[in-house]
Structure 1
Amino acid sequence: MVATAPFLARFRHPAQVVAAGFSFAIGIGTALLSLPIATAGGESAGWVTALFTAASAVCVTGLVVVDTDTHWSVFGEVVIAGLAQVGGLGIMTMATVFMLLVSGRLGLRARIATQAETKTLSMGDVRRLVLKLVVFSLVCEVITAAVLAGRFLIGYGESFGRALYLGGFHAVMAFNSAGFTLWPDSLIRFVADPWICLTIATAAIVGGLGFPVVFELARHWRHPRKWSVLTRVTVMVTVILLVVGTLVFLVTEWQNPKTLGALDDSDKLLAAFFTAVMPRSAGFNTLDISQMYPSSWLVTDLLMFIGGGSAGTAGGIKVTTFGMLAFIIWAELRGESRVNIGHRRLPEATQRQVITITVMGLMLVAFSTYVLLAMTPHGLDQVLFEVVSAFGTAGLSTGITASLGPAGHVLLTVLMFIGRIGPLTLGSALALNRRARHYELPEERVIVG
């Protein structure tokens, strides 16, 4: 632990530590998955396959280029689950816990770095919050694992050991929004099983809300008037997206014989709800994505791009960003000089961050889509879906991931990395110095539109 301080001292901005931590975890994961013991056949996996899988796990995405159950050994699967756990909680959160356990104290630099990762609003609360975060995560995963293991044991005749392993593995993946499964068809075989679907969906929603929001809801769930702007926007946008997504998938896919068309009405509702939850970044699917209509792909693209809550396990630009962007647009349309949410005013610095994150995300998705279209023979619908899934760390795919080739896999790896740490975090990590202007230039009105 003595070496921690020199390592952190190399970086001048907290966001750099976060980026470096995720890079280090991906490197370790790549090395472990490259070992012969990590594959079922006892042969070393190619470095691109190991890198892509490690990045997909650390960035809690769930995109795969090989079948997880048949290609990787138990050791490899445990490594993948461990990487997803580390990626879900956050490198800085885990490092903070280790420092607390060993030294019992937390230095200022580490507190600042952890604050950048956990999105806490006060450095004084970092230590207490991180410990609460870890306990909360483990409790949620244990409960999810117990329900899933019981279902696999009783409902599907799995042995006790196998049921426990399946329950634990998928509990980690569900709560951390990772999306890896131990079946080649993801969760399609469980499309009509509410025990499996609702348990995994609930874990994904809770993990994707964001830990500050979950903790505040636990304290003031009976008193919405006491909710902060963060909690109000997160809950409101999350509910709207879940309801709208479910209705859209029901209407669009109702008569599609290859998706909802073959199910009973109650099963259709369950499958549509599950499909609306998963683009939050969870990555599981109970319907064959490749057989969905292009209109459903477009809706899924939008949901994946938005993602889940801030400081949670989900990716995307975040529901808070999307919600605040809507308030910014509404205020501009009404000609108001200030953006108000409830009884609070949104700071101008936050407004700039919202616009920056959204525009950077759109530009990155557009550029990556163009590059991938030039490199592969696939159509725009499929390529755009793949790119948005990687950027939003959603893990959903139309089935073309394995056929993109090494160059395409490296591109998606970069997208997953950027999507996990956030466009603004990466940008601030690269900007070593903040330049303060000591003067103001004359203002000039420019025609817009």
Structure 2
Amino acid sequence: MHAILHPARAVTLSFLAVIVLGALLLMLPQARPGGAGAPLLVAFFTSVSAVCVTGLVTVDTGTYWSTFGQVIIMLLFQIGGFGMMTAATLLGLMVNRSARLRTRLMTQTETRSLGLGDVHSVARLVLYMTLACQSAIALVLTLRLGLGHGLAWRDAAWSGLFHAVSAFNNAGFSIHPDSLTRYAGDALILLPILLGFILGGIGFPVLHDLRMRLRDPRHWSLHTKLTLAGTLVLLLAGFVAVLLFEWGNPRTLGPLGAGEKILNSFFISAAARTSGFNTVDIAALTQETWALHYLLMFIGGGSASTAGGVKVATVAVLFLLVVAEARGHSDTEAFGRRVGASAQRQAVTVLVIGSILIVLGTLALLRMTDFPTDQIIFEVIAAFSTAGLSTGITAQLPVAGQLVLLLLMFFGRVGTITLATSLVMGERRMPYRYPEEHPIVG
């Protein structure tokens, strides 16, 4: 009898296998223009960043890697994004299937979650939606780059495809050394990319729910409502804050016109939640905008999406918990539904573990380097949340420091989902309960 591998462990091992394979391919002579294979650390760091759809790099993607190497990188973050979306969705179905039939039917009725049907059809649906969005974005970008920026059609098509796949997967990889700063004034370039990483970052369960019940918001699941409401609040609040903090900054939005300032402020707000693209120099942002990025990167995108972070729904549940406690309510409620106690415990656990990892990563890098604390915190949160934004110190970190970022990227991308799944699958009722007592809190 072979032992059955826990689904969460299977996902972790699968991602590790893809990372190792990607690193080996990037070490091939064909992966670099000069025919010399990339060093192990460079190849491994790039592979981890691509599979974990982070976007942090130690070398320039467009010049350091050949077309073959860039194709490998694109395939890695395609696998990383699509694989995580599929794995997270299928793991959610496995969680439901591990319960008794009555519990599964109750869960499906109350949450209007994905059905209990063939998991292969779920994977196909994710694939079709992914390819449809990426193809549409790639087409728009190709036409704009060819007609509006004078690129040869072959170069325009490759750039359009690479950035479209990178955008939808929230990977943040660009073949330009300045990311998207050269297109800061071009809405026809920024808006399709913006749409791509917002759709990819919402999460497949939400997209599935919208696809099935777009005209009937009353029957959207609580998860969909929390994710959409949280995403809207974060986008608008971030947009207003960036506009306020950067309007007169001569190194970022200052030289731009009013319309371009509005466009780039919204782009920066959305990109901070794990897309990894930037239209201005991140190192030139004000301290207030950096602090805003800490929060937005840490929260990230939707559950079962290509985005990272502790997830919007997690923070929404915690916010509702705080509101309920402040009002003296025994139940945590939203949109006419009661949030389950297990979901509240899982949200607290994910937040605490994520915070601990960030603190440990920050302390480790502060011990290893002499960089300012604010830059270290930015880099650590960007790695854990797979946001991929950088103040420019990643390549300057020592080997040990880059290894710390590697671990943070991997745990941030795989750990929170596998942790939540493990919590649900490991949930069981104890045959006894201890006497209740109330310690003093606060």
**TM-score, with structure 2 as normaliser:** 0.92
**Does the alignment pair 1:390 with 2:383?**
yes
* Contact 1:209–1:312 (Cα < 8 Å) also in 2: yes
1:210 aligns to 2:203 (yes or no):
yes
Aligned equivalent of 1:58, options 46, 51, 55 = 51
> Deviation of residue 41 (structure 1)?
2.1
Distance 1:313 1:394 in 2: 11
Task: Check the 8 A contact 1:17/1:113 in 2, yes or no.
Answer: no
1:87 aligns with 2:66: no
Which residue type is aligned with residue 85 of structure 1?
Q
Per-residue CA deviation, residues 203-234 of structure 1 (Å, 9 max, x unaligned), is 00001100111121123222221111011001
Distance 1:135 1:329, change over 3 A: same
Q: Is the 8 A contact 1:11 1:17 kept in 2?
A: no
**Contact 1:281–1:315 (Cα < 8 Å) also in 2:** yes
Change (3 A) 1:94 1:367: closer
User: Where in structure 2 are the equivalents of 1:241-390 lying within 5 Å?
Assistant: 241-390=234-383
Q: In the alignment, is the contact (CA less than 8 A) between 1:328 and 1:339 conserved in 2? A: yes
Aligned-residue offset at 1:426? 4.4
1:112 to 2:94 alignment: yes
Task: Determine if contact 2:84/2:304 at 8 Å carries over to the other structure.
Answer: no
Contact (CA 8 Å) 1:92, 1:114: kept in 2 or not?
A: no
Match of 1:3 in 2: none
Structure 2 residue identity aligned to 1:337: S
- Whether 1:75 aligns to 2:68 is yes
* Structure 2 residue 16 is the aligned partner of structure 1 residue 16: no
Among 111, 126, 147, the alignment partner of 1:154 is: 147
Q: 1:425 to 1:225 in 2, by over 3 A?
A: same
Letter in 1 for 2:356: M
1:363-410, CA deviations, whole angstroms, 9 ceiling, x for partnerless residues? 111111111111111111100000000111001001111001211111
Report the counterpart of residue 171 of structure 2 in structure 1.
178
Alignment-mate amino acid for residue 258 of structure 2: D
Q: Which residue of 1 aligns with 2:128?
A: 135
Quote the Cα distance in structure 2 between the aligned partners of 1:115 and 1:180: 37
User: Is 1:38 equivalent to 2:31 in the alignment?
Assistant: yes
Amino acid at match of 1:259: T
Preserved contact between residue 248 and residue 254 of structure 2 (Cα < 8 Å): yes
SS at match of 1:181: coil
Q: Output the amino acid matched with 1:232.
A: K
Distance 1:263 1:409 in 2: 35
Deviations 1:335-364 (Å, cap 9, x if unpaired)? 111111111111111110010001111111
One-letter amino acid of the structure 2 residue matched with residue 90 of structure 1: G
Answer whether contact 2:85 2:204 (CA < 8 A) is retained: no
CA distance in 2, matches of 1:430, 1:236: 26
Q: Which residue of 2 aligns with 1:201?
A: 194
TM-score (norm 1): 0.90
- For 1:356 and 1:262, locate their aligned partners in 2 and report how far apart those are by CA, in whole Å: 44
Partner of 2:185: 192
The letter of the residue matching 1:391 is: F
Secondary structure at 2:253 match in 1:
coil
SS in 2 for 1:263: coil
Quote the residue 1:104 is aligned against: none
**CA drift at 1:87:** 0.4
RMSD: 2.5
Counterpart of 2:392? 399
**Contact 1:18–1:92 (Cα < 8 Å) also in 2:** no
Report how far residue 111 of structure 1 moved: 7.4
Counterparts in 2 of 1:288 and 1:443: CA distance versus 1, 3 Å? same
Distance 1:68 1:350 in 2: 40
User: What per-residue deviation string (whole Å, max 9, x for no partner) do you get for residues 296-325 of structure 1?
Assistant: 011011000000011111000111111111
Amino acid in the other structure paired with 1:169: F
Aligned partner of 2:107 in structure 1 is none
Measured against aligned partners, the alpha-carbon deviations of 1:112-133 in whole angstroms (never above 9, x if no partner) come to 39999xx975442532221111
2:25–2:72 Cα contact (<8 Å) kept: yes
Deviations 1:230-251 (A, max 9, x none): 1100110101111010100000
Q: Deviations over 1:238-269 (max 9, x none)?
A: 01111010100000011110001111111000
After the TM superposition, which of the residue ranges 266-275 and 413-422 deviates more from structure 2?
413-422
- Partner secondary structure for residue 272 of structure 2: helix
Partner of 1:166: 159
Is contact 2:144-2:188 (8 Å) kept? Answer: yes
Contact 2:88 2:304 in 1 (8 A): no
Residue 222 of structure 2 is matched in structure 1 by: 229
User: What is the alpha-carbon distance in structure 2 between the residues aligned to residue 115 and residue 65 of structure 1?
Assistant: 43
Q: 1:263 to 1:110 in 2, by over 3 A?
A: closer
Structure-2 residue corresponding to 1:101: none
Structure 2 unmatched ranges of 5 or more: 99-110
Question: Letter of the aligned partner of 1:112 in structure 2?
Answer: M
CA distance in 2, matches of 1:258, 1:426: 41
Question: Which amino acid is the alignment partner of residue 352 of structure 2?
Answer: V
Deviation string, structure 1 residues 82-108 (Cα, Å, up to 9, x no partner): 000000011684899xxxxxxxxxxx9
Quote how far apart the aligned CAs of 1:436 are.
Answer: 5.7
Cα distance in 1, alignment partners of residues 348 and 424 from structure 2: 18
Q: Is the 8 A contact 2:274 2:386 kept in 1?
A: yes
Gap change, CA 1:35 and 1:94, over 3 Å in 2: farther
Matched residues, number = 429
Q: 1:304 to 1:271 in 2, by over 3 A?
A: same
* Identical-residue share of aligned pairs (%): 45
